[in-house]
Amino acid sequence: MKFSEGICLLSMAPMRADASERSEMVSQLLFGDSFSVLEKKDAWLHIRTHVDDYAGWVSANMVTADIPKCSRQKVVSTPLLACRIFPDNITLHLPGGSILPEPVFEHGGKTYLPENIPDENGQDTVSLAEQYLGAPYLWGGKTMFGIDCSGLVQVVCRMAGVWLPRDADRQEKCGKPTSFEDASRGDIAFFADRHGNVTHTGLLRGDGTILHASGCVRKDRCDRKGIFNTTEKRYTHHLYSIKRL
């Protein structure tokens, strides 16, 4: 733990509210996410991510120092991408939104060789988000094995080349406001509690429905009032604003 900066080269590493495995997971580092170290406590690092300025605690044994130089950075634009690691001859499955410093790169005496990197050209955020349909909801999650509402929006926007903050209330401050009547496919809708605090977000599909993570990643109806859950037959979230990036 003698480094001031580091990177995650595992599929995923949980970020926690405090320096304990029992502490709440607030987010996740994805493969290729780099960070600065704010504080050290036993076997834990208090970090701030470079990509979205998010702070949390991560176990030091899940990250490494010596950030690879990036000249042709690429973002994984499928929910999972197989990456062969040599000479270990093992396969690491990288979650969507992971950052590859190079299409093929070396680090720590190992060679990382991703297989069949998809071309993200022409993919919009809605098409990317549809790949996550059915993924379970997980507070702080950012992968197909568990994801929250702002994690879904952040990851698919990252896949499309747009870098957003981690949480819904900060995401809401981005982009250009638009009305429900003028909203189109790919616009981001935000929803607030009765106190006016933004607590939920999702991607409008342009056909009167929305993709969002609530219980799981799902498609529901959305109108001027908010999200109508087609399973529960009731409004579950109340519309606050719509932003276009």
Round to whole Å and give the CA distance between 176 and 173: 9
Predicted confidence at residue 239, as pLDDT, reads 98
Instruction: Read off the tokens for 43.
Output: 């076997």
Report all structural domains of the chain as residue ranges with CATH numbers, in order of start: 5-62 (2.30.30.40), 74-114 (no CATH), 125-244 (3.90.1720.10)
Instruction: Read off the tokens for 31.
Output: 């493969």
CB within 8 Å of 6: residues ≥ 6 apart: 34, 35, 37, 45, 47, 63, 64, 65, 67
- Distance in angstroms between the alpha carbons of the first and the last residue of the chain: 39
Round to whole Å and give the CA distance between 2 and 187: 43
pLDDT digits (tens, 9 = 90+) for 124-171: 999 999 999 999 999 999 999 999 999 999 999 999 999 999 999 999
Return the higher-pLDDT residue of 106 and 29.
Answer: 29
| Cα distances (Å, whole numbers) of residue 96 to 121, 203, 225, 244 | 15, 17, 32, 22
Predicted confidence at residue 121, as pLDDT, reads 57
Whole-prediction pTM value? Answer: 0.94
pLDDT digits (tens, 9 = 90+) for 192-223: 999 999 999 999 999 999 999 999 999 999 99
Round to whole Å and give the CA distance between 233 and 229: 6
The pLDDT > 90 percentage for the chain reads 86
For 36-57, what is the mean pLDDT? 96
